[in-house]
Amino acid sequence: MEHTSGCQRLCQSIFCAIVGFPLVLIGASVLLGWNEKRDVCEQKAILAGDSSYRPVKCTDSTEEEGELVFFNCNLLQDGLAAQGFTGFGGGEFASTLSGYVGTGIKVEAEMLQCTERSESRKNNVGGGTTTYYEYDRGWRSQWIDPYRFHDRDKAAQQCGGLQPAWPPEVPPTGSYYVNSAMADVWTLPTSMVQKIPLDTSISGTAPPLWVRSEGSLFTTNKYGLGNGMGDMRIRFKGNNWNNVALSVLGKNVMGTIQDWVAPDDWLCSGYTLKDLRMGTMEISKMWEMQRAESSGMTWALRFVGFALAWIAFCLLAGPLEVATDCIPCIGPMLGNAVSAIACCVSCLPATACTMGVVGVVWIVMRPMVGIPLIIIFLLVMIGMIVWKCCFTKKSKKVYDSEGQQDDPGTVVGKQDVEVKQYSGPVDEALARSFIHALRAEYVQNEAGAVGVVFDANGNAEGALGPYEEEVRAAGDKAACINSIAQRWNLVI
C-alpha cells in the first residue's frame, strides 16, 4: 500500500489547474489547427498529383525521369540476401532463418514475467488516497524491470519468483527490413518496403532446447527459473511470395521511387506523395484510398484534440473534487459527484474551443468556405441576442406589497404579476385619475374626490359609476379598489 495525503492531492490538483490546464489546452489547439491545415494541404497535394502523374511500364526505369509515375509491377526476390535485414542479428535463430529470403522479418517474442498492477481508493477521512499494488504472471513482449516494483518481496511471493534479464541470444520483438527491393526494373527504398505486410509465418528447424509447435511457434524453458518465470516463446513472420503484385506511386529518380513534392499553394508547401499498395489496382482507386485515409486521420485527430481540451477543463475543476473529498465520511461520495458534474460541464467549453479553432483554420485555409459559415454563425448569434432582449422586455415582472400602501410604478394586486396591456372602460389617464380619486374619498376620507373627476369629465360617470357603487358596497374598500385596477391591468 502507498498513501497520499489530502494536502498532497490538493497541491497536485492546484498545480495541474494552474500549469497543466493552459499547457494541455494550448497543445490541443495546436494539434487541432495543425490537423486542419494538414488535411487541406494533403487534399490539395492529391488533386495536384491526380493531374500530374504519368503511367509507366515495368520494362524501362528511365521512362518519365523526374516525374510522378504510377505502375503495376511484381516484387522480385532478386537482390534480396538472406538475413539482410537492418538491425536484425538472428541470435540463436540465425541458422533457423538462414533459408528465408524476403523484404523483412517480423519478430513476436514473449517472456513469462511478473507484472505489477495498481488500484487507488479514496480514504474516508482526510481527502487522501491509498494505492494498492498486486502482482501476477503474464506473457509480455517487452522486458519488465523487477527492480522498479514497489514491493519486490511481495512480487516474488505472489508470482513465484522474479523474471531474469532478457537473453541476448533471443531477438527482441520488432520488425526489420531490407534497405531496398526491386519491383521488376524499379527500385523501392526502405520507406516503401516497409509498406509490404509481414503476415506469413516462417518455419524452420528449432534451435537446441527449443520446441517448434503447430503454427511455427518456438518455445523453451532454458532461460526460466524452473517455476515458469522466464520461459520464452517466439514466432517469425515474413512477406507472402504468393502475392507479389504491387501498385506503386512516386517520383522516378534514376529508377528509384522517391517522394514527389506537390507544388506550393496558399500556406501549403513541402507536401509529398508516395504510396505502395498490394495487388493490382487502378490509379483512381489509389486516389480514393488516400483521400479516405487522410479524412480518417483528420477525424481521429479531431477527436484527440477535443479529448485533450476536455481533459484540460477537467484539470481546471480538479481542486473542487479534492476539496470535497476532505469532508469526513461522505467526502469521497461527494467528490465523485463533483468530478462527474465537472466532467459533464467541461464538455461544453471543450466543444466550443474545438469548433472555434477548426473554424478559424478553415477561414484562413479556405476563406470561400469558412467565411459564409462564420457569417451564418454571427447572424444566428445576433438573432438569439435580439430575441432574448425582446423576450426579457415582454417578461418583465413588477411587484407590490399586498395589503400595504402601493408604491408608484407598480401594478396594484398580487406580487409577481406580468405586465399586460391596459384594458379599462375609459382612456388610461382618466382611469388613473378615477382610481386615485376612489382611494382619496373611500380610503383617505376626502369627501367629493370622485365627484370632482366626474364633473371634469362629463361622460365619465356613465362608464365609471358602477365601479364607484362597487367600492361603496364593499367591506374592504382598499382591496376592492386594488381589484378594479388589477382587472384593468392599470399601472399606477
Q: Tell me if 440 is assigned to some domain.
A: yes
* Across 44-48, 136-140, 227-231, 271-275, least confident range: 227-231
pLDDT tens digits along 183-215:
999 999 999 999 999 999 998 889 999 999 877
Decide: pTM greater than 0.85. Answer: no
Amino acid 203: pLDDT: 86
- Whether the per-residue pLDDT at 279 is higher than 90: the answer is yes
* Across 12-26, 93-107, 331-345, least confident range: 331-345
Higher pLDDT, 151 or 380: 151
Number of domains within the chain? 2
Higher pLDDT, 75 or 378: 75
Quote the domain boundaries for residue 461: 417-487
Of 194, 214, 240, at which residue does a domain stop?
240
Query: How far is the C-alpha of 37 from the C-alpha of 30, rounded, in Å?
Result: 11
Q: Tell me if 119 is assigned to some domain.
A: yes
* Across 214-223, 340-349, 395-404, 457-466, least confident range: 395-404
Of 207, 240, 273, at which residue does a domain stop?
240
Q: Tell me if 346 is assigned to some domain.
A: no
- Whether the per-residue pLDDT at 175 is higher than 90: the answer is yes
Q: Tell me if 236 is assigned to some domain.
A: yes
Query: How far is the C-alpha of 197 from the C-alpha of 206, rounded, in Å?
Result: 25
Averaged pLDDT score across all residues of the chain = 85
Amino acid at 284: S
Burial class of residue 482 (count of CB atoms within 10 Å of its CB; 0-12, 13-18, 19+):
buried
Q: Tell me if 297 is assigned to some domain.
A: no
Amino acid 404: pLDDT: 40
Q: Tell me if 382 is assigned to some domain.
A: no
Q: Tell me if 302 is assigned to some domain.
A: no
Q: Tell me if 213 is assigned to some domain.
A: yes
For the record, the C-alpha cell of 69 comes out as 509515375
pLDDT tens digits along 250-278:
999 999 999 999 999 888 999 999 999 99
Of 240, 258, 289, at which residue does a domain stop?
240
- Whether the per-residue pLDDT at 402 is higher than 60: the answer is no
Cβ-based neighbours of 214, under 8 Å, separated by 6 or more: none
* Region 277-301 average pLDDT: 95
